[in-house]
Amino acid sequence: MTTTAPPDLDAAAAPDAAGPRRDSARYAASIRLSVAPMMDWTDSHCRVFHRLLAPNARLYTEMVHANAVIHGDRAKLLALDPVEHPVALQLGGSEPALLAQAARIGADHGFDEINLNVGCPSDRVQAGRFGACLMREPALVAESVAAMRTACDVPVTVKCRLGVDDDHEYARFLAFIDTVAAAGCRLFVVHARNAWLKGLSPKENREVPPLRYDWAYALKRERPGLAVVVNGGIADAAEATAHLDHVDGAMLGRAAYHDPWLLHRLDAAWYGGAVSTRADMLRAMRPYVEARLARGAQLKHISRHWLGLFQGERGGRAFRQVLSEGAHRPGADWSLVERAIAMTAGGGRAVA
């Protein structure tokens, strides 16, 4: 498979811009490995870091409600650096006309894909009648997908659960998929567990309902014309790789965030790239960081995404401590990052 060279972060240091139009071949290849949309985590700073680690992966934004895209601060909500491609905008909402308008804005802004969230189980999301509760309104999801596809010229995809609460019939899940696929959705990211709408927190909803990867596998067997990506509970390289025997791709969530080196190793293994060192990869972020600091950004907002880079490694705890304690201070700059890296070389002690 063709590989993509690591991005040039000197180019990333330029002001935010959508960059060139979607590279169809690169976008198609990126289905194998993706990083899940995660609220408060997968912002643009995070995605630039993940792109450096995984040049071939597909990245996703945090979920943004359609109303926020239409009426909110787009410069902040739709922040997009050219190196992030291929990258998808995840939308929340349940009003087809508003979702269509937001999808058009997202595509015009440069995103390679628009993804509809049909999986978030939080009370706030349910109150707005979007997220996982839409699993029980397949006709509305289909109407929304059709409107979004009409409004924009990039793929419209869906991220869903297997069902909600006591929905334990595969036939019901398949009927949902078929209804939405008939509206033109060709790619489904399946978080392979139910969402419990009452009694569990969003965190518990990621852990308590049992995983049923076999449903995602069966969907791919029975609907081979659809692209199916599996998500949920993937904790290591072996698990992620095993999924590729059954579906088109694996989407990592918290495992990729808390142990970003896993993302780098998977990208190298699946796409044929070279594995670099943690320190060298982090130092490649320097042009981006210094350019952002010069434009008024604070180091803490960028470096918070790196804290797991040396997880399990000699000096990893000291690395996190140096960044956590120092990045919020006024004037914190790249020299702090070098001090943190030095802790890993010294096994927790700065190297003279």
CA distance 319 to 79: 28
What single-letter DSSP state applies at residue 325? Answer: H
What is the SS3 assignment for 34?
strand
Q: Token pair for residue 260?
A: 């970003």
Q: Order of strands, edge to edge, in the sheet holding 113-118?
A: 33-35, 249-252, 227-231, 187-191, 156-160, 113-118, 87-92, 59-65
Q: Of the residues 46, 120, 133, 185, which is catalytic?
A: 120
- What are the C-alpha distances in Å from 266 to residues 6, 7, 27, 155? 14, 17, 17, 25
| DSSP H or E stretch at residue 116 | strand 113-118
Residues facing residue 116 across a β-bridge: 91, 158
Contact between residue 3 and residue 272 where contact means Cβ atoms under 8 Å apart: yes
Query: With the C-alpha atoms ordered 225, 227, 231, 235, is the resulting torsion angle positive or negative?
Result: positive
In the numeric block, the tokens 């990126």 are attached to: 30
Catalytic (active site) residue 120: yes
Residues designated as active site? 120
